[in-house]
Amino acid sequence: MEPTSAQFHENVDKALHDADLQTALHRVDKNFAARRTAAVTAMPEFEALRDEAVRIKDHTLDHLDLYLETFEENVIASGGQVHWAATPEDARQIILDLCQTAGARTVTKGKSMIAEEVALNPFLEQHGITPVETDLGEYIIQLADEPPSHIIGPAIHKTKEQVSDLFATHHEKLGKTKRLTEGSDLVAEARDVLRPRYLEADVGITGANFLIAETGTSVIVTNEGNGDLTQQLPRMHIVIASLEKIVPTLEDASTILRVLARSATGQQMSVYTTFSTGPRRADDPDGPDAYHVVLLDNGRSKLLGTAFRDILRCIRCGACFNHCPVYASIGGHAYGWVYSGPMGAVLTPTMIGIEEAHHLPSATPFCGRCEAVCPMRIPLPKMMRHWREQAFDKKLDPARQRVALRVWAWVAQRPALYRRLTGLAVRYLAWRGRPLGRLRDLPLAGGWTDSRDLPAPQGQTFSAQWARQRQGNA
Amino acid sequence: MGATATGERVSGRDAILGTIRTSLGARDDDAARKAVSARLQTHPRNLVPDRSAVGDAERVAMFVSQIEATHASVARVAEPADVPAAVAAYLAQHNLPARATLAPDVADLDWKSQPLLETRVGVPVESDPVGVTAAFAAIAETGTLMLTSGAGSPMTLNLLPDNHVVVLRRRQVTGSLEDAWDRLRTHQGDAGMPRTAMFVSGPSSTADIELTLYLGAHGPRRLHIILVED
């Protein structure tokens, strides 16, 4: 998709005034965090499991080349093929070639953020192949022609009425003329409409939550079962996955599974966790005849050697979204690209460039909740600060902000001057705010006081009070 | 896919692996290879939660209570011969048509004992209301069934029919995921992984509309386990 991250401020403004979105976001805020807390409390070893998960992924990243080679060998040994895609263009072309070899007209798709990252659907459509999203949330946003707004709940921003409208518009031609109002009826209609699509599809494309080097296996985690139908029914199963999804063994995947569902939806295990290895065996009564894994790099191999390496531990659980006050206020679309929330604020600039995306790592209060709940203990705030340093060095922030920061830095490095100036400022602000005890507008920071007042300073600066207290104690 | 395309892909592979090696920097390559191959050979267990290490009776009770909490139901029968009657009773209880599609793995049970139950063995068609399959194992820790593909177990039978009945033997209930992998490794031997190993914890569900939970999204609306105590 064309990023709109550069128009972040306009996007935010729109999001804050979208009443339906605000209702939906309130629901996210209310639901997910409580469910996670309950699941984590019920697992006494949860913190230790997090440490284990981090250790597994760090070990894997340290030996990434070797595990990927082993994975490829084992996929081939079980009758499948691995295709290496350096760029999104490569991944799209490889998948198109495979679909054309299979003579595909329709492909069903399980939910895949990597397919979103490489913008697979529009490309397949351009070449006469119809992609059908089967995850209910992805199906809804495909009808709406929108990007996902949350990595585990792509249509989380939609109200039931909006879904009802979309189904009424798009299902009429399928003979479904009744407008539905109940959620259960909407789910049943989607099931009804998608069933024949699974059966007619020539190719099924899924993502992968894990790739397992030991066995050459891909793993998907879903609640609906759509991914399973997608990878069982068509003649060809294509997996698209980024290369950091790899883990060494079945045991390692099992450990990370214990923190994944709990962090995501508060479940102990998702309903379906499915391990696929190669195509159907000679005596299997069903399953695909062909199995292909498309491994996407898209800059990750370079990222491995940078200060952003830890983001490669991300398992896409969405916990950082569900605990982020910024996401809770603006939703996913305002971030302007495929990934949103705190992990998106770190990952997006690596893919579309800090020039385009520099607003994202700036939109944070550094409250640290994302890092506190991340099952893989990714230091998201620290990495957002790295991006801010880069944005500053590249002069991407407004000139006034940069000048103000430089002035502050210059003063802050001269303690005597700093103390004198802050002392003056405090006295001035106290005097200005005297009538009300607060300031309704602040010189040079009108934007800040547009929507709130600043309490007027009481007494002396902190440094002055500290110095006096230490003197008193001496 | 012409020769050129294949050639480009090979070079794509080498370029990606080359960049990874550059990013990883200097390392003792021999030591790295040894560490990797040791881990793959021995596949050591990581931390396994304590709760899965319990005695036989407690383990089965844990499995039942955990999977019931996911909207699945469980019936207990004494021996395999009782399974057909339990299937018929379940279908009657839910007003379902007396028509079941059986996995070859459960076809040998005494289905003739239920003359009113119409059965067929094999891969399901879309309109089949009920699928009956056999589990490979179950996991008490999370209330999870492990279903594996093979000649006797079509995977689509776990997914297409609206009602999924799974026959599970008591001795198949393990403590943890790791225990289940050990059993699969022993069972498969040199054959390696089956095409599919599905872990199922409850009936199909979705919360994609306003975060409300609805059952029967794409897979089965009902999941029923017949636990054979022998």
User: Could you tell me if B198 and B135 lie in one domain?
Assistant: yes
Percentage of chain B exceeding pLDDT 70: 96
Architecture in CATH for domain A1-42+314-397: Orthogonal Bundle (1.10)
> What span, in angstroms and rounded, lies between the C-alpha atoms of A351 and A356?
10
pLDDT exceeds cutoff 80 at B3: no
Q: Which two tokens stand for residue A51?
A: 């440490």
User: Could you tell me if B65 and B131 lie in one domain?
Assistant: yes
Choose between A444 and B191: higher pLDDT.
Answer: B191
Question: Which pLDDT tens digit goes with each residue over A69-101?
Answer: 999 999 999 999 999 999 999 999 999 999 999
Interchain proximity B155–A255, CB inside 8 Å: no
Q: Which two tokens stand for residue A150?
A: 């949350």
Instruction: Confirm if A345 and A364 have CB atoms less than 8 A apart.
Output: yes
Mean pLDDT across B177-199: 97
Backbone CA torsion sign across A333, A335, A336, A340: negative
- Alpha helices of A210-283 — where are they, by DSSP H? 226-232, 250-264
User: Could you tell me if B112 and B170 lie in one domain?
Assistant: yes
pLDDT at residue B128 in the model: 95
User: Could you tell me if B19 and B70 lie in one domain?
Assistant: no
Distance from A333 to chain B by nearest Cα, in Å? 17
pLDDT at residue A472 in the model: 81
> What span, in angstroms and rounded, lies between the C-alpha atoms of A293 and B159?
23
Q: Identify the domain containing residue B36 by its residue range.
A: 3-42
pLDDT at residue A474 in the model: 61
User: Could you tell me if B36 and B56 lie in one domain?
Assistant: no
Establish if A188 touches chain B: CB-CB under 8 angstroms.
Answer: yes
User: Could you tell me if B58 and B149 lie in one domain?
Assistant: yes
Interchain proximity B181–A156, CB inside 8 Å: no
Question: Which pLDDT tens digit goes with each residue over B135-177?
Answer: 999 999 999 999 999 999 999 999 999 999 999 999 999 999 9
Cross-strand bridge partners of residue A217: A212
Non-local CB neighbours of A162 within 8 Å, separated by 6+ positions: A20, A144
pLDDT at residue A312 in the model: 98
pLDDT exceeds cutoff 70 at B28: yes
pLDDT at residue B175 in the model: 97
User: Could you tell me if B9 and B110 lie in one domain?
Assistant: no
Non-local CB neighbours of A466 within 8 Å, separated by 6+ positions: none
> What span, in angstroms and rounded, lies between the C-alpha atoms of A260 and A8?
30
Establish if A25 touches chain B: CB-CB under 8 angstroms.
Answer: no
pLDDT at residue A141 in the model: 95
Mean pLDDT across A28-36: 89
Amino acid, res. A61: L
Predicted structure pTM score: 0.93
> What span, in angstroms and rounded, lies between the C-alpha atoms of B205 and A180?
19
ipTM: 0.95
Distance from B144 to chain A by nearest Cα, in Å? 8
Interchain proximity A278–B195, CB inside 8 Å: yes
User: Could you tell me if B11 and B91 lie in one domain?
Assistant: no
User: Could you tell me if B31 and B93 lie in one domain?
Assistant: no
What's the mean pLDDT when you consider all of chain B? 94
pLDDT at residue A424 in the model: 92
Domain ranges of chain A: 1-42+314-397, 51-298, 408-473
Interchain proximity A229–B159, CB inside 8 Å: yes
Q: Which of A21-35, A52-66, B175-189 has the lowest mean pLDDT?
A: A21-35
pLDDT exceeds cutoff 80 at B222: yes
Mean pLDDT across A344-363: 96
User: Could you tell me if B34 and B64 lie in one domain?
Assistant: no
Instruction: Confirm if A241 and A218 have CB atoms less than 8 A apart.
Output: yes
Interchain proximity A187–B13, CB inside 8 Å: no
Question: Which pLDDT tens digit goes with each residue over A366-419?
Answer: 999 999 999 999 999 999 999 999 999 999 988 888 898 899 999 999 999 999
Superfamily of domain A51-298: NagB/RpiA/CoA transferase-like (3.40.50.10420)
What total number of domains does chain B contain? 2
- Report residue A317: phi and psi, to 5°: -85, -25
DSSP symbols for A326-376: HHHHHTTGGG-SS--HHHHHHHHHHHH-HHHHTHHHHS-----HHHHH-TT
What's the mean pLDDT when you consider all of chain A? 95
pLDDT exceeds cutoff 70 at A319: yes
pLDDT band at A441 (very low <50, low <70, confident <90, very high): confident
Interchain proximity B217–A86, CB inside 8 Å: no
Q: Which residues of A touch B19 (CB under 8 A)?
A: 297, 301-302
Instruction: Confirm if A32 and A265 have CB atoms less than 8 A apart.
Output: yes
Q: Which residues of B touch A79 (CB under 8 A)?
A: none
User: Could you tell me if B97 and B127 lie in one domain?
Assistant: yes
pLDDT at residue B10 in the model: 52
User: Could you tell me if B173 and B114 lie in one domain?
Assistant: yes
Establish if A469 touches chain B: CB-CB under 8 angstroms.
Answer: no
Angstrom CA distances, B207 to A197, B124, B199, B216, stand at 22, 27, 20, 11
Q: How many CB atoms lie within 10 A of CB A329?
A: 16
Question: Which pLDDT tens digit goes with each residue over B95-113?
Answer: 999 999 999 999 999 999 9
Q: Which residues of B touch A48 (CB under 8 A)?
A: 47
- What CATH number is associated with residue B162? 3.40.50.10420
Question: Which pLDDT tens digit goes with each residue over A277-300?
Answer: 999 999 999 999 999 999 999 999
Q: Let me know the angle formed at the C-alpha of B144 by B138 and B149, rounded to the nearest 5 degrees.
A: 65
Non-local CB neighbours of A390 within 8 Å, separated by 6+ positions: A354
